[in-house]
Amino acid sequence: MDVTVRARAVAIGRPIAYVLGGLLAITLYGLAIWQAPEFLVNRDVLSRATPEQRLPAEHNARLIVISVGGALVVGTGLLYTARNYRLAHRGQVTERFTKALERLGSDELYVRIGGVHALEHVMRDSPEHRGDVVKVLVAFIRDRLPRRGTEAANETPWMHPPSGSDEPELPAEPAPDVQAALTALGSRPEQTKHNRASLNFRQLHVQGVQLSGAQFRKADLRGADLRNADLFEADLQNADLSGANLQNAYLSEANLQNTNLSEANLQNANLSGANLQNANLHGADLQNTHLFGADLQNARLSGADLQNADLREANLQKARLRGADLQKADLRKANLQSTHLRGANLQKADLHGANLQNADLHGTNLSLASLTAEQLRQAALSEHTILPEGLARGPLGEIWEKNLS
């Protein structure tokens, strides 16, 4: 009861306070206009001035106060209008956000696609909602996409494998609504620091996705199935792709700087011209991979399988390839300066024109590899380095060509 009475008293008292405050402001403003000459005009000047001179001076002083008051009123009105506009805009965006969420739950495909595009517009128009939109779209994608692996498949009833099959039948490409959501996330504006959401696509089946030029920095794609994905010029800096399946993926000109690709399957993938500086490719499967002109400076490739890989003109400066398998790899004109190739297998590799200055070839297998004695003279060898046929080690360790005739 007391609360009700207090609320009524507040409701009645507030308008009265506004009226009294307004009357007080008007009174003070009137006094300021009346007394303006006393404050703005020098008294000695007024005392010596004739009535014809005093009247314009007093008029100008009062006019200054009136102008200042008018400017304050206009400024207050503009601030109030801007505040109302922001509130109205926020209400409209919230309403659009709510309607878009309703569309995502529709049974109709085209309605869901419309909901995705509506959220994309909200994300672009309202920086405050960007993090929320990203969270919703990530949740939508994770809900719609199948999981990779038997354990994940068993968690989803509709993914149970058909009779007589060991593996579930998975789609060759994402559904149009999922593709639209991934495209929207790939072109999202920068998120604010206080409303940032992560891109968690771990273990998802995203085979055949089309994401040319997408921005997926720091995305979590561990164990994801990205076979046949189009990631041309995609930005995957600092992303985690460890254990991901990227067979036949198109990653030409992609930015994979500092990306974790350890144990990833990159067989037959196209990484021509890709930026893989400082990338972690430890134990990755790169058989038949196209790495023409790729930048692998300081990349970690220990134990990686690079059989038949195309590494022509690639930059492998200071890369770590300890124990890597480079059988039949094409390394023509590649930069292997200061590269760690200790214990690597380079059987039948083509190294014509490659820069081997200060390359670590201790224990490396170079049998049947194509390179010259001059190239090897620039590298660091050991007695365990297996030289190609036609080259021999002299008494002082220098490399020279044998006469096979």
Q: What is the pLDDT of residues 250-265, one digit of tens each?
A: 999 999 999 999 999 9
Q: Do the domain assignments include residue 245?
A: no
Report which residue type is found at 269: A
Confidence class of residue 90 from pLDDT cuts 50, 70 and 90?
Answer: low
Q: Is the pLDDT reported for residue 76 higher than 80?
A: no
Q: Is the pLDDT reported for residue 235 higher than 80?
A: yes
In the predicted model, what is the mean pLDDT of residues 345-352?
A: 96
Q: Do the domain assignments include residue 360?
A: no
Q: Is the pLDDT reported for residue 402 higher than 80?
A: no
In the predicted model, what is the mean pLDDT of residues 394-401?
A: 76
53-57, 98-102, 165-169, 261-265: which range is least confident on average? 165-169
Q: Do the domain assignments include residue 28?
A: yes
Domain count for the chain, please give it: 1
The pLDDT value recorded for residue 79 is: 75
DSSP state of 342: T
Exposed, middle or buried: residue 284 (CB in 10 Å: 0-12, 13-18, 19+)? buried
> Do residues 31 and 20 touch, judged by C-beta distance below 8 A?
no
DSSP state of 161: P
> Do residues 305 and 326 touch, judged by C-beta distance below 8 A?
no
Query: If you search the block for the tokens 């990686």, which residue do you land on?
Result: 304
Give CB contacts under 8 A, 24+ apart, made by 232-239. 234/186
Percent of the chain topping pLDDT 90: 58
DSSP state of 35: T
Q: Do the domain assignments include residue 331?
A: no
Query: If you search the block for the tokens 């399946």, which residue do you land on?
Result: 245
Q: Do the domain assignments include residue 263?
A: no
Q: Is the pLDDT reported for residue 355 higher than 70?
A: yes
**Which backbone phi and psi does 220 adopt, to 5 degrees?**
-95, 100
26-30, 235-239, 303-307, 366-370: which range is least confident on average? 26-30
Element (H, E) at 401: strand 399-401
> Do residues 265 and 244 touch, judged by C-beta distance below 8 A?
yes
In the predicted model, what is the mean pLDDT of residues 68-74?
A: 72
Structural domain boundaries enclosing 61: 18-42+54-104
Q: Computed over its alpha carbons, how large is the radius of gyration of the chain?
A: 36
Q: Do the domain assignments include residue 343?
A: no
Q: Do the domain assignments include residue 81?
A: yes
Task: Give the CA count within 13 Å in the CB-facing half-sphere of 314.
Answer: 31
CB atoms within 10 A of CB 14: 10
25-29, 99-103, 375-379: which range is least confident on average? 25-29
Percent of the chain topping pLDDT 70: 75
Q: What is the pTM of this model?
A: 0.74
41-45, 166-170, 243-247, 271-275: which range is least confident on average? 41-45
Q: Do the domain assignments include residue 74?
A: yes
